[in-house]
Amino acid sequence: THHLVNLENCLVQDEVIQNIANRICRLIEKYNLPVYDERKVMGIRTIVARRSQKTGEVQIIFVTSARISLDGQVWPAPREELSKRQRKDLVKMDNILSDLTEEFQEIVSVSANFHPKKTSEIYGDRTQMLFAEKETITEGVLDYDFELSPRAFYQLNSEQANVLYGEAVRALNPKKDDRVIDAYCGVGTIGFGVAKKVKSVHGMDITPESIADAKANAKRLGFKNCHYEVGKAERIIPNWYKSGHRATALIVDPPRTGLDDALLETITTYTPEKLVYVSCNVSTLAKDLVILSQFYSIEYIQSVDMFPHTARTEAVVKMRKLAQP
């Protein structure tokens, strides 16, 4: 409907994040900063806030139609080339950041993401740090800590992420000779959970920031058997097989749209012995299982309640390659 409802209290939302979101809205009103106009494709589109369950650190991202910077520039134009309105908006943003970081000591970074296109995607391609006491936040899952950059993907409910990823590890049942491929790996969370128990972990993701975090975290954690690349699974996996890396186990954690048709074809072509499917949309999961069940037996499906008091649920599916006739 594109009709927005002002929600100042949500019982299932993190209280600190809710307070910060409410304060940002009031500051935008106070300084009269332009809010996104869908017809003109101008203004602040989205505000993204993330809080570490482990440390309480908070990251903020302002997704805007214009490129902004605390040094008084809008990429790529210097201040003197800006319009009078643009220069005023920069001052207003400076004021908002000053007020916000002074009031909430938990905020360790504030970024601006430039998104000028008229699409439903949340982020644009360019992100710039406006304020950084610390460029990443530290989160913990499956008995290890890792660093998260602002643009890197992680589960919205970090507390339940422990349950979800724990179920994925249980379904994989890692063995010392396993060669694991972690598709849609994000910052490497599931792969790190099995790295000490398997021969190797190869992961890929289309978001460069996520892969940069995965590589840095693997190095910091001492996982020398982990390898990560930026790109699409359906393109990278065949290349790995051609170069001699034949996986015995595959983990997929796709977006709500489910597995890409090309990736489904790749999986059914190479058919690793073990397959674990982590799904955030049971409708697309069902569609994908119609195809995968021709090549794999479904041993069990475990649901995980990631969003209490909503109709949404995640699922972890354990599959094993069918015996050849």
Residues 253-306 pLDDT 10s: 999 999 999 999 999 999 999 999 999 999 999 999 999 999 999 999 999 999
The reported pTM is: 0.85
- State the amino acid at position 128 in one-letter form: Q
Distance of alpha carbon 316 from alpha carbon 303, whole angstroms = 6
Residue range 146-321 forms a domain whose CATH class is alpha beta
Beta strands of the chain (E only): which ranges? 44-51, 58-64, 107-114, 126-132, 137-141, 144-148, 179-183, 200-205, 226-230, 249-252, 274-279, 296-304, 314-321
pLDDT at 74: 44
The tokens for 17 are 């994040």
CA atoms within 13 A on the CB side of 178: 25
Is residue 155 part of an annotated ligand binding site? yes
End-to-end CA distance of the chain: 52
pLDDT tens per residue across all 325 residues of the chain:
567 788 899 888 899 999 999 999 999 999 888 888 888 878 888 999 999 999 999 999 999 886 554 444 444 445 555 566 666 666 777 888 899 999 999 999 999 888 888 877 888 888 888 888 999 999 999 989 999 999 888 888 888 999 999 999 999 999 999 999 999 999 999 999 999 999 999 999 999 999 999 999 999 999 999 999 999 998 999 999 888 889 999 999 999 999 999 999 999 999 999 999 999 999 999 999 999 999 999 999 999 999 888 888 999 999 999 987 6
Specify which residues 229 forms β-bridges with: 204
In Å, what is the CA distance from 201 to each residue of 165, 192, 248, 266?
A: 15, 8, 11, 18
Q: How many other C-beta atoms lie within 10 A of the C-beta of residue 125? A: 11
pLDDT at 88: 63
Number of separate helices (H) and strands (E) present in the chain: 8, 13
Specify which residues 145 forms β-bridges with: 140
Is residue 184 part of an annotated ligand binding site? yes
CATH classification code of 15-135: 2.40.50
pLDDT at 145: 93
User: 104, 58 in Cβ contact below 8 A?
Assistant: yes
Distance of alpha carbon 66 from alpha carbon 126, whole angstroms = 11
Identical fold, 15-135 and 146-321: no
User: 191, 85 in Cβ contact below 8 A?
Assistant: no
Give yes or no: 226 in active site.
no
pLDDT at 72: 42
Distance of alpha carbon 166 from alpha carbon 169, whole angstroms = 5
Catalytic residue, chosen from 10, 25, 226, 280, is: 280
Question: What are the sequence ranges of the domains in the chain?
Answer: 15-135, 146-321
Mean of pLDDT over the chain: 89
pLDDT at 71: 46
Distance of alpha carbon 291 from alpha carbon 275, whole angstroms = 13
